Structure 1
């Protein structure tokens, strides 16, 4: 039975790994650690079904990497794909996420930049270091050789697939990799495709995350497997797909955006991650992790020693939560607030009106705290340290660029020739802009009146700094009607604001807001909650 026949016999969208002959490295403690790191971090606190971990995702990537490379070997024998190549690609897929810290991207995306702002570190770097540690600490060199691997060359090839070229200056060369020659350049596009982002890592987490989140997945990775082949482009071999699959490829990147919009960047999941990050920061200098040689590390320095880093997982959350040490009291209280669902309150979200890029900094919170409404100001002073500003970038994977511009296709008439397909050749319904920024603001209080005042500060800041009006909800509607009165604006509120099509059941319609303003005492301070 061919690889494609095996793929077509699968009955589930989530790859079935029950018959997958797993490499030896997955049975080691370093790899088993991934069982205790949530794939979606704080998103699990919002989507209870998203309980899956980096462990099963890594199995899936290793499995799909093997499927893809074997498919290419069967379809194009002239590529000279060897069993060594196949095993190296599978191991790279299996080990590509070894370097993730507690709560996955929360650790390298929030905690490390906060505690070590001058450190340029990413989890791919740690994945390479953890893979080296896995091999050397378990003395697996002889085991690798018994599987037919050439130790120096294949170790380098596996690490390059995970983290890119080992030589920092290699990108200046025509061929930056040393693990495999340029004739096998396509092998570097399977696990982590740096050229256009189409790789088996995404194929697995799209299917897996959508399944656990309950979000439909319209992207069909199996069709890409069926229609994938290698073509030569500018003296390098690249993985290409059939021209008729261009809409499926667009669907892949749209799925990525939708997952970020609906789940990965969920406003409640994000503030929970921010609160966990604060707790880890407060616990950092008091929390001891023992590494090699008995040396003690902190949470923020554990990745400097792989033995210490192996011990750092999501379990640290419960260790702090159930700790009785007085020095962990502040961190423990933050986690208790999460358990009680006493989260920092969401004030709203906005977007820049212009094309200016927003850079996250402490100055944003200070700016909002200084934006006290001049007319009918709240009789309370709000502190900058209590405002939390979360700047979110959402795109198709290549910032403001269309990733499909970097994808090569082939036609049925000439499958050996690679071609590009422009957006205009596909549909007029495709996006014009491929990146957007969202600014979300929260406030550290549970008092309804203070939260209402903080929302007024936020609206004032948006008006003063060329941002869109926040989504209209109960307390904001009344405040915005007052703003119309202050500035002498005529007409209905609809004339000056974009209506919110996603208004929840508890929100007022614009007509109801007008009635509320007419019947209410303008001296009252609205404190309606919304999420």
Structure 2
């Protein structure tokens, strides 16, 4: 690493990235995916300096300080990530101006604090990195200019090296696609070494504007396509894996439950809780994945709920997916989880069965699951990096004989896609899936069996003996039994089901089926034992 990069690496703010996993909760599904943002950031910096040096051979306007800025921006682009990355990002409240918190903005805050806290300005001047260059690094990280005389306006292509907002082809993606596929054990045909020698700077027309951008040799179009295909495959198989998303929801709930009791000391000794820590870079520097251990090792009732959620993750007693569908425009009218959740509740309120049961004084287990606090909708987007458009159409290319940039035709892009991957020849490049996660305790499939069992048992005379075998006393059973008769005199199974749910809650998950089957056989319900738990 260059000496100016080593100055950055040897700071507490950068070393903090050793304790933030690159893929967050994915390691609970893919055990080898435990690499961190520390090595990813070093990898991005290495690739950024390599690409900048390659461009500088043909472009004399690129100075050594520009190469240094790009390398440092690659190092620091992820400084603002919180514990388990996106699990934390989803719970941070908006700022005072109402803007949504983002890790890019937080990365700039952490970078500026790191420069001041470690007195790096004087040391960086030895490498011709002055205030203007520090400001340029911040612009590269956040992706927009910070003033009229911004270098971003004249050297936009340098920004594209690390954070390409135009078409998504940047060294950040090159590193995480390659590194993540390796640690996930997935084979990948993508090789950035094939692309890097064929990147040059040309004038590109964007609407009425013309500016210099990164352009790629036309013969590496299929290699770029492999990058987008690998990215989509990673999203489908790992990043947005259903179990990983559910564990992310559980981590989010645990962090919210423990937030007020996790205290971090900021500048001037001011105290901040977990969610407030983003307001102070010194406090935020103490926030990483190890807060999970702090929650697990806590004592007393203050973080009891958070401990229970973490314990459920480790015992694999996860929230259950109780619904999944492919989103179709015009049916759901939205791809936002909150709006879909509201739509689901409106449907249930309009349902005749729901409205008739709502008059009852107590909720059934199914109604309890569907209550507002127990479900969450997650939307997964699977595309090739350009929403519903093909990302190759946004990439400027050049060829060996022509000294100017051009864009591939739609026809040629379709040929590349069909040649590379048959699935891409379908009618759409953008698929959205939504699933509903249930926060209620236990396995929903097992609960559905209990509902069917309670209905099957009816009002049999053997229910008293069955209750006894489940260790319910005579008085307790009588209370449950009274609920089997509604106010209108009709017979139902509500009391029996409530008893089964109470038994389930107190019985260890691993012994539930064995105990229930034994109790059914001993009470004369052999047929039901064979039917439901064979």
Aligned with 1:359 (options 336, 339, 356): 336
Match of 1:293 among 243, 254, 268: 268
Correspondence for 1:83: 64
Partner of 2:367: 382
- 1:314 alignment partner, SS class: coil
RMSD of the TM alignment (CA)?
3.2
Over residues 49-81 of structure 1, what are the superposed CA-to-partner deviations in whole Å (9 max), with x where a residue is unaligned?
10100000000000000110011112x0x4421
Q: Would the aligned equivalents of 1:452 and 1:527 in 2 still touch at CA under 8 Å?
A: no
CA apart distance, 1:526: 9.1
- Equivalent pair of 2:392/2:413 in contact (CA under 8 Å): no
* Distance in 2 separating the partners of 1:338 and 1:199: 35
Matches within 5 A, 1:267-278: 267-278=242-253
d(CA) in 1 for partners of 2:345, 2:299: 35
Q: Secondary structure at the match of 2:91?
A: helix
Alignment of 1:136-215 (within 5 A): 136-149=116-129, 151-167=130-146, 178-180=150-152, 182=154, 184-215=155-186
Q: Name the CA shift for 1:526/1:55 in 2 (closer, same or farther; >3 Å).
A: farther
Residue 39 (structure 1) aligns with: 22
Q: CA shift at 1:82, angstroms?
A: 1.1
Change (3 A) 1:454 1:348: farther
Q: Deviations over 1:374-405 (max 9, x none)?
A: 59x99744222322321222322332232222
Following superposition, the deviation at residue 123 of structure 1 comes to 0.1
Mapped contact 2:20–2:37 kept (Cα < 8 A): yes
CA deviation vs aligned residue, 1:264-306 (integer Å, no higher than 9, x gap): 0011111111001001101112221111111111111101100
Contact 1:347 1:454 in 2 (8 A): no
Superposition TM-score, scaled by structure 2 size: 0.75
Aligned to 1:344: 319
Aligned counterpart, 1:24: 7
Between the aligned partners of 1:397 and 1:101, the Cα distance in structure 2 is: 24
Contact map agreement 2:327 2:431 (CA 8 A) in 1: no
1:292-311 map, 5 Å: 292-311=267-286
Judge conservation of contact 1:351–1:439 (CA < 8 Å) in 2.
yes
Partner of 1:440: 435
CA distance in 2, matches of 1:253, 1:278: 33
2:380 is aligned with 1:392: yes
Instruction: Give 1:471's aligned residue.
Output: none
Cα distance in 2 between the residues matched to 1:350 and 1:454: 26
1:206 CA drift (Å): 0.5
What's the counterpart of residue 107 of structure 2?
A: 127
Q: Does the 8 A contact of 2:4 with 2:124 survive in 1?
A: no
2:382 paired with 1:401 = no
Tell me how many residue pairs correspond in the alignment: 434
C-alpha distance in structure 1 between counterparts of 2:229 and 2:291, whole Å: 35
Give the Å deviation of 1:412. Answer: 1.3
Taking a change above 3 Å as real, the CA distance of residues 181 and 344 of structure 1, as seen in their structure-2 partners, is closer
- Alignment CA distance shift 1:374-1:225 (3 Å): same
**Aligned match of 1:60:** 43
Q: Secondary structure at the match of 1:326?
A: coil
**Cross-structure match for 1:477:** none
Mean CA deviation greater in 129-138 or 238-247: 238-247
TM-score, with length taken from structure 1: 0.75
Structure 1, unmatched stretches of 5+, are 1-16, 171-175, 457-522
Give the SS at the match of 1:426: helix
Q: In 2 relative to 1, CA 147–353 (structure 1 residues): closer, same or farther, beyond 3 Å?
A: closer
CA separation of 1:224 and 1:348: change in aligned 2, threshold 3 A: same
The more displaced of 293-302 and 445-454 is: 445-454
- Asked if 2 retains the 8 angstrom alpha-carbon contact of 1:369 and 1:382, the reply is no
Query: Whose Rg is larger?
Result: 2
Quick check: 1:101 aligned with 2:101? no
Structure 1, residues 331-373: CA drift from partner, whole Å, max 9, x if none? Answer: 1111111111110122242112335332211525635765879
Alignment of 1:265 with 2:240, yes or no, is yes
Report the Cα offset of residue 450 of structure 1: 6.0
Contact 1:347 1:455 survives alignment (8 Å): no
**Counterpart-to-counterpart distance in 2, 1:37 and 1:146:** 31
Q: Is the 8 A contact 1:289 1:296 kept in 2?
A: yes
Partner deviation per Cα, 1:407-427 (whole Å, 9 max, x = no partner) = 00011112x210100231133
Question: Which residue number in structure 2 is paired with residue 419 of structure 1?
Answer: 406
Rounded to whole Å, the distance in 2 between the matches of 1:152 and 1:66 is: 20
Shift of 1:434: 2.8
Contact 1:348/1:455 (<8 A) preserved: no
Q: Distance in 1 between matches of 2:413 and 2:74?
A: 32
Structure 1 distance, partners of 2:34, 2:352, is 44
What do the CA deviations read for 1:101-141 (whole angstroms, capped 9, x no partner)?
00112221x22269999551100000000000000011111
Q: 318, 322, 338: which is aligned to 2:293?
A: 318
Q: CA deviation at 1:88?
A: 0.7
CA deviations over 1:306-338 (Å, ceiling 9, x no partner): 000000000111100110042111111111111
CA distance in 1, matches of 2:294, 2:96: 22
Are the structure 2 counterparts of residues 261 and 113 from structure 1 closer, same or farther at C-alpha, using a change threshold of 3 Å? farther
Any conservation in 2 of the 1:364–1:389 contact (CA below 8 Å)?
Answer: no
CA distance in 2, matches of 1:20, 1:214: 34
Higher helix share: 2
Alignment-derived partner of residue 72 in structure 1: 55
CA–CA distance in structure 1, aligned partners of residues 531 and 77 of structure 2: 51
